[in-house]
């Protein structure tokens, strides 16, 4: 979702954002390093450009989604409980703050 939020916030596709050449990054990266390099470039764009375009809250939500940090679920739990926990954390960390942003408009 972080990539989608970044594209919406910048009103550009990832492939058209200056400084992010996915093909070259993947081609030039050492084995296994491409995802990390792409992630770092996306996060840099989100942190550097979204706050001034869409506000700090939207920037922070986008960065959190890119980082995959919607909360720590602690110990390994059964699949159904894990999914319920993930859904609840995502709702609290992403959906509710976005709804509040929508209400403020």
Query: 54-99: per-residue pLDDT in tens?
Result: 999 999 999 998 887 554 444 545 556 666 777 888 888 888 999 9
Min mean pLDDT across 7-11, 41-45, 78-82 is at 78-82
Q: What percent of the chain has pLDDT over 90?
A: 31
Contact criterion met (CB below 8 Å) for 54 and 10: no
pTM, entire model:
0.73
Tell me how far apart the alpha carbons of residues 65 and 60 are, in angstroms, rounded to a whole number.
9
Q: In the chain, where are the structural domains located?
A: 1-69, 71-105
Tell me how far apart the alpha carbons of residues 4 and 69 are, in angstroms, rounded to a whole number.
16
**Residue with the larger pLDDT of the pair 87 and 7:** 7
Q: Which of the 8 DSSP states describes residue 18? A: T
Among 87, 5, 95, 105, residue whose Cα is nearest residue 45: 5
Contact criterion met (CB below 8 Å) for 4 and 14: no
Q: Is the dihedral of CA 52, 3, 41, 98 positive or negative?
A: positive
């Amino acid at each position: 979702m972080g990539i989608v939020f970044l594209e919406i916030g910048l009103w550009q596709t990832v492939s058209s954002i200056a400084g992010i050449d996915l093909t070259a990054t993947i081609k030039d990266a050492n084995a296994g390093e491409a995802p990390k390099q792409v992630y770092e470039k996306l996060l840099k764009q989100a942190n550097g450009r979204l706050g001034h375009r869409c506000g700090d809250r939207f920037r922070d939500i986008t960065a959190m989604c890119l980082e995959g940090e919607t909360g720590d679920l602690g110990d390994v739990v059964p699949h159904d409980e894990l999914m319920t926990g993930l859904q609840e954390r995502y709702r609290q960390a992403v959906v509710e703050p976005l709804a509040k942003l929508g209400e403020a408009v």
